[in-house]
Structure formats: structure tokens, C-alpha cells
A and B are shown apart, each in its own frame.
Chain A
Amino acid sequence: MKVNDMILQTVTTLLSFIILIFSVYLFFAGHYTPGGGFIGGLMTSSALVLILLAFDLKTFKKIFPINFLTVAATGLLISILTGVAALFFDVPYLTHTFDYVELPILGETALTSTLIFDLGVYLVVVGVAMTIIQTIGESE
């Protein structure tokens, strides 16, 4: 009998977007409410894993032609460099700064450099989780 996973694939195309958006929401919410880079990254990778489950490894690699280890390394570099940036202002390593900025649509928003640090964490989590799953999936 030929297995037909049309329902799964259709639902996945819809659901993965909702999960991705929720993960981005969690990522940005981290400063004032529960959330942050770690949980946001995990949620993003769960959306990617769902795609991986519904389709196969080859299709997945066609959709995302990225080396996820590079993603993790880039994230690590971003996190370290936000700390290093503090050195140029002659303050201790990892000192963060924040300011209220008038953004076009959102209005007055508090932006902090910890967000960039969190972006690094987010990328590391996505990169590491996907590397683990892809490597296990590929090995015979």
C-alpha cells in the first residue's frame, strides 16, 4: 500500500508558519515577559523539525541550503562580539546599554544591546539543535 501523507504535509505548511511566528514573538518578548533566545530558538527548530518530519531530509536541504553548524558558530560570534563592543567604550566586558527609540510603526520602543546578545543565543540554539537532528538523521 502506498503511504500518502498529504494531510500531514498540508497541515505542516500551515502550522510551521504559525510556530515560526510564535517563536519570533517569544524571542522578542524575553525582556519583559517569559521567553528569550533559548526558548525562541528551540521553538524555531521545532518548526524546522516538523518540516523535516513531514517531508524528507533531501527536500529539507533544498528548502534550507544552510550549514547549521555555521549558523551556531555565527551566533556564538555575535554573542561574544556584543560583549567585546563594551571594551571600546572603556567599560567592563559584557556591559550592556539601552535606549528609547522612536520606531516608524511601533512608536516609542526600548531597545537594548542584550537583544543582540539574545540573537546570538537564538542562532546557537537553532544551529546546534538542527545539527544534532540532521547528523543523527543522516547516519546509517
Chain B
Amino acid sequence: MNNLVIMPILIPLITATILLLIPKRTKLQKVISIISLTLSTTAAFTLVHTVYTNGIQTLEVGGWRPPFGIVLVADMLSSLLVLTGIIVSFACILFAFRSIGEAREKYYFYAFTQFLITGVMGAFLTGDIFNLFVFFEVMLMSSYVLIVIGGTRAQLRESLKYVLVNVISSGLFIVALAYLYGLVGTLSMADISQKIAQAGQTEIVTVVAILFLIVFGLKGGIFPLYFWLPGSYQAPPYAITALFGALLTKVGVYAIYRTFTLIFYHEPHITHTIIAVLAGITILIGAIGAIAYWDVKKILIYNIVTAIGVIVYGIAIATETGYAGSIYYLIHDMVIKGALFLLAGSMYTITGTDNIKKMGGLIKRHPLLGWLFFTACLALAGIPPLSGFVGKILLVQGGLDQGHYLFVGIMLFSSLLVLYSVMKIFMNCFFREEAISAKEEKGSTKGLVYPSVILIAISAFLGLGAEFVYPYVYEAAETLKDPSIYIQAVLKE
């Protein structure tokens, strides 16, 4: 029993409800959001520390023992993701203060960001697979609102697609859950894992596993289920896209992690091979998309797809090094995607366009923005002192140990393409002759840059302080490698 585990869910939930009551008082809303996010960050830090010193923390909600009640489980992976998620949302909301505009603020923008955070944190922390579905819905409902809030033409069109895709995938999720419940008769993840380990992973269980892969692949955006992602993420303003890019797809990835390391790990030559093939293609598709466009937002969105492929491949490697590498890369990617979208948002505020060809010479008047973007690009591609390097080198090492030469080749090649795609933005937007004069600028970057400074500082810390961070990541990888640690912590037999 440890009520600390529920704090990252409870604090944003209460905040969201309070914010619903005061829609017109935007100043007060901002203050409350800041207070709540500070509290959540503190709770997340404490959670990581507690899990590191005392092992996996569980909370049996309502006092019912699993498998009869819902249990919240904070193992190292969940708590690290909770911490990263909170910090990235903090930065995005700080950015939104300056950029989102009064009209959206008065239509419950801050309340719905808090509901979104509630859903994401809940999905990370729950130990019950139906509860995972519920938190997915909490997250998706809020994302529907955030994607359409403001009501521009593009937003309406894309939200329709986004809602349709997600309603279908949620339907599939329910069907998959029904099959699984029919097979094992329980919903607690630890208990499901135990039941399947006892009875053996029969063909029908593998089929259900593939169904889950389809569901989470739709949420996470892996090939060939990523088709909705580029359009939907382009429609809303940058603060919201940053939140989506950093959090939403990652929840899908986390769910793939949980199900395929804890529950369906007995037939890796079928399930994990499929994951590996799809992940490889996802990386390539993302990289191709990233180099094809001349639109800042599109390029960054396709980079999300590439990163998803890289992270998901860690599951197919299935060694501690592979897991550690992909968890490291996951954390890095949440932070750096947040930073990149926020920086691109600042660029958009200045120029009023996403078209690379219409920008140029920004470095003359915005040197800080320029060099921050440059640093973020290097971190994204995985240049040594920054955060992307550690994750990728571990993945390469893990891949080589398992003899996945093709994957290592694809990943290294994709790093090159990713670097090319973001450098294309940097070189064309910040150098060349000036495209717009000081007078033609649409807005100032006052207050818009510092949230990304925070994120890039964290990214640098993840890279330079790898010695400090690695033990935490390694512990998370260990728990993934050995499901019995998780099961014992939950069922305590």
C-alpha cells in the first residue's frame, strides 16, 4: 500500500476539474496549472527515487487484492516515463502560455491538457489491462478536444480522421480484451502473465497478441498503421503538437512494451519477428518522409515515426542491452521531440509559415533560437555528447550481439537521413539570405524559447550524465527482461 503511486494521476485530475469551474479566468488558470505541474513533478521525482531504493511500488486501489481489484504498479520503466512525461508537458504548457491565444484558453485548453496528462500517467502506471483501456480513452478524448479546439478548417478535417481511426482502434482494443478475457479469465496483467505461462502460449493466444500489436500499433504509429499520423499532427497549433508528439505515440509504444515483455513473450519467433520487420520498415518510411518534405512540421512529424521504429525494435532484440538502449532512446526522444516542436513553434511565430523555402537568415536576429535548434538536431541524430547517442549505441550493441546486422545497418543509415532532414531545416531557415525583414516578423519570441532551453538542458544531461542515469534505465531493463520480478511485486506470493 503506497498512495504515492496514484499522485501523478490524481494531481492533474483534480486540477483539471478545478479548471473546468473557472473557464473565463485565464490568469488564475495559468497559476493553478503551474502549481499542479510543480506538484506532479515533485511526486514523479519522489516516485522514481522510491522505486530505485525500495523496488517496485504497488497500490491496490480500494484495498482489493489483485487479481480481484485494480492495481497500480510503478516499476522503473513506468516511473521514468511518468517523470519524463510530466517534465515535457510542463515545457509544452509553459510554451502554450505565450502562444495558444485567449480564445482557446477560454475554451478549457488548460483543463483538457490536464485531462490528457491524467490519461497518459494513468496508462503508464496501471497494472490492469482494462484499466489501461480506460486511461487510453481518457487520453484520447482529451486529445480529440485538443486537436479540434479553435475550430480552423484543417483542424476540423483532420480531427474527423483522427477520431475515426481512434474509435476503430479502441473498438479493436475492446475485442482483443474480450478474447483475452475469454481465454484466461482475468484482467490483471500480472495474473494474465502467470496464467499464460502456466497454460502455455497457444496459437489462439498468439493471435490475440497480434491483435494487440495492431491496436497499439495504431495508437503508436508503426508501419503500416501510421497513415493517420502526419495529417492529424499537422493540424493543431505547435504547443499541442509538441504535447502529442512527445506523449501520445509513446503511450502506444509503452503498451507494446508492457504486453510483449510481460504477457506474450513465449513465442518470440512469431510475434517478435513481426515486430522487428514492422519496426525496420517504420524506420525507413519515417526517414523517407522526413527527407521528402519542405515543411518544418511535416519533417518533424515523420521523425516521430522513425523514432517509434527505433524504440519498438528494442523489444525484438529482447536482451537487457537492447531494452536499456530503447528505454534510453524513448526517454531521449520524448524530451527532444518536445524541444524540436517548441523551437519550430517559435520559428512559426516569427515567420508565420512552415514552408522552409519561405524562411531564411533567421540566425541574424535570433541567434539563441538558431543554436538551440542546431543542438536539438545534433541530439536527435545521436551525436556523442548529447542524449541520442547513448540510446543508439546501446541499441547497436544489443543488435550486433543478437546478429541483427540488417537492423543496425538500417538504424545507422536512418540516423544519417534524420540528420540530413533536420539540417535541411537548419541550413535553409537560419542561413541563406534573409527572407523577411525585422518589420515583417509576425510575432516576437519573447518567453517562447525558454521552455525548450529546459528540455535541451535535460537532453544534454541525459547525454553527459549518462553514468548517473544509466543505473535507473538498467533497472527498468532488468524488470522487462525478467517478468517474474513484476509478477512477484504485484501478487506478493
Query: A132 within 8 Å of B by Cβ?
Result: no
Contact among A74, A80, A95 with B14 in the assembled complex (CB-CB below 8 Å) = A80
A70 to B, closest residue via Cβ = B21
* Cβ B10 vs Cβ A92 within 8 A: no
Query: B402 within 8 Å of A by Cβ?
Result: no
- Known: A80-B10, A80-B13, A84-B10. Is A93-B18 also a contact (CB below 8 A)? no
Query: B17 within 8 Å of A by Cβ?
Result: yes
* Cβ B63 vs Cβ A95 within 8 A: yes
Contact with B along A82-114 (1 / 0, CB 8 A): 011001000111111000000000000000000
* Cβ B17 vs Cβ A80 within 8 A: yes
Q: Whole-angstrom distance from the CB of B128 to the nearest CB of chain A?
A: 13
Q: Whole-angstrom distance from the CB of B121 to the nearest CB of chain A?
A: 14
A73 to B111: give the CA distance in the assembly, Å.
Answer: 11
A83 to B61: give the CA distance in the assembly, Å.
Answer: 9
* Cβ B63 vs Cβ A92 within 8 A: yes
Q: How many residues of chain A have a CB within 8 Å of chain B? A: 17
A93 to B60: give the CA distance in the assembly, Å.
Answer: 8
Query: B182 within 8 Å of A by Cβ?
Result: no
List of B residues within 8 angstroms of A84 by Cβ: 10, 14
* Cβ A93 vs Cβ B61 within 8 A: yes
Q: Whole-angstrom distance from the CB of A32 to the nearest CB of chain B?
A: 19
Query: B438 within 8 Å of A by Cβ?
Result: no
Interface of A is mostly: helix
List of A residues within 8 angstroms of B1 by Cβ: 91-92
A89 to B62: give the CA distance in the assembly, Å.
Answer: 12
Query: A19 within 8 Å of B by Cβ?
Result: no
A69 to B18: give the CA distance in the assembly, Å.
Answer: 12
Q: Whole-angstrom distance from the CB of B71 to the nearest CB of chain A?
A: 10
A77 to B13: give the CA distance in the assembly, Å.
Answer: 9
Q: Which of A74, A80, A84, A94 has the most CB of B within 10 A?
A: A94
Q: Whole-angstrom distance from the CB of A103 to the nearest CB of chain B?
A: 26
- Known: A80-B10, A87-B3. Is A69-B63 also a contact (CB below 8 A)? no
Query: B462 within 8 Å of A by Cβ?
Result: no
Q: Whole-angstrom distance from the CB of B16 to the nearest CB of chain A?
A: 8
B5 to A, closest residue via Cβ = A93
Contact among B17, B18, B21, B59 with A92 in the assembled complex (CB-CB below 8 Å) = B59
* Cβ A76 vs Cβ B20 within 8 A: yes
Q: Whole-angstrom distance from the CB of A132 to the nearest CB of chain B?
A: 14
A91 to B69: give the CA distance in the assembly, Å.
Answer: 15
List of B residues within 8 angstroms of A92 by Cβ: 1, 3, 59-63
Sample of 11 more A-B contacts, CB < 8 Å, known A77-B21, A92-B60, A93-B62: A70-B21, A77-B17, A80-B10, A84-B14, A91-B1, A91-B63, A92-B1, A92-B61, A93-B3, A93-B6, A96-B62
Using CB atoms and an 8 Å cutoff, list the residues of chain A in contact with chain B: 69-70, 72-74, 76-77, 80, 83-84, 87, 91-96
